[in-house]
Chain A
Amino acid sequence: MLKNSSSHYGVVSVVLHWLVAVTVFGLFAAGFWMVDLSYYSEWYRTAPHWHKSTGILLAIVMLLRLLWRWLSPPPQALATHRSWEKKTSAVVQCCLYLGILLLVISGYLISTEDGRPIAVFDWFEVPALGALFTNQADIAGLVHEYVAYSLIALAVLHGMAALKHHYIDKDHTLKRMFGRKP
C-alpha cells in the first residue's frame, strides 16, 4: 500500500507528489507577492522568513522523494501512452525536479552571501557558506526569478497534460496520481 507497484502509485509517492505540488505553487505565489511588499507591511519580515523556511523544508522533502523513488520506483507508463508522450513527460518531470533543485540552491545563495545562516522557522538553522562568487546575491536572485517562472510554466504544462489524459484520452493517468488502481 505504501510502496509503488508496477501499475500503481503507493501512498508515499502520492502524498509526496501533492505535497510538493501545493508547496511549489504556494512558494511561487508567496515569492511573487512578497517582493513588492512595502517596508511598513506587517508581512515584510514574516513572508520572506516563511518563504525561506518552507523552501528549505521542500529541499528536504525532495531529497526524501528522490530516495523513495530509488527505493520504490514509480509504476510503468500506461500501455495507451504514446511514445512521444512518454518521452515528453519524462523530460518535463526531469526538468521539474531540476528546477526545484536550482530554486533551492539559488535561493540559498541569495540569503547566505553575507555569511548569515538561514533560520527554518525557529526550529533549526542551515549554515551559510558565505560568498562563493562575486555579485552572488544579484546573480542568484536573477536565476531564482527566471527559474521560478520557468518551473511554474512547466508545472502548468504538466498539469494540463494530466487533464488532457483525464478528459480527452479518458485514461487512468490522473486517477493513478491519487493512488487509484486501474
Chain B
Amino acid sequence: MKKLLLAASVAAMMTLPAQAADYVIDTQGAHAFVQFKISHLGYSWLYGRFNTFSGDFSYDADKLTDAKIQLTIDTASVDSNHAERDKHLRSGDFLNVSKHPKATFVSTKIVPKAGETFDLHGNLTLNGVTKEVVIAAEKLGEGKDPWGGYRAGFAGTTTLTLKDFAINTDLGPASATVQLDLTVEGIRK
C-alpha cells in the first residue's frame, strides 16, 4: 500500500506542470523573422527584414504572465532587397548602424487578452533610443517537433514612430511610422 502510494505520488509529480521552460529562438533554422513594412508615398507597402538576430524566451502556458523574452537584432543586417536603399538605411539618415550596431527588445510585462493573444510590454532600444513599446502578440502553437525537440511559436506586431527613435529623415506624411512584425519559434533548451 505504501509502495503504491509512493508510486502514485511520483507519477503525480511527473505529470505536474514543469517550471517555465526556456526556449532559444530558432535562428539557426531560420524559423523566426523580424520584418517591417512602411508605406511608400502612401500608395503601397515597402517590406524589409533584419536577417541577423538572436534571442530566447521562457514560457509556460499555465503562467503566461511570467513569460519573458529578449531579442537582439544586428541592425546592419537590414535587407529590403535593394543594395542602395539598404546602404541608405544603414547610414546616419536612418539606422546609423556603425554607431548603433544592435537593437534590443527586453520584455517587462505581459497582459493576457482574449484567447491566445496578449500584450507584450517591453523596452525597445533602436538607434540608441530606448522606449517602451507594446507588442500585440499571439501564441501560434506549441508541441513536439518531428526531430525529438519541443517548440513554441509566437507572432507579434507593433507600430513605431520613426521620430521617437531619432530617425528624422522625412519620407513623407504616410511614412512617419513603420510596422514591425515578429514571428519567433523557440526550441526548448
Contact = CB atoms under 8 A, between A and B. Distances in A.
B84 interface: yes
- Chain B interface size, as a band, is 10 to 19
Contacts of A135: 76
B170 A38 contact: yes
Contact of B87 (A38, A40, A110, A116): A110
- Chain A interface size, as a band, is 10 to 19
B90 interface: yes
Interface in A49-106: none
Contacts of B81: 114
Interface string A107-136: 000111110100000000000000000011
B84 A39 contact: no
B87 A137 contact: yes
A138 interface: yes
A141 interface: yes
A137 B91 CA distance: 11
Contacts of A110: 83-84, 87
18 contacts: A39-B169, A39-B170, A39-B172, A40-B172, A48-B84, A110-B83, A110-B87, A111-B84, A112-B83, A113-B83, A114-B81, A114-B82, A116-B82, A116-B83, A136-B83, A137-B86, A137-B87, A138-B90
Interface of B: 76, 81-84, 86-87, 90, 169-172
Interface of A: 38-40, 48, 110-114, 116, 135-138, 141
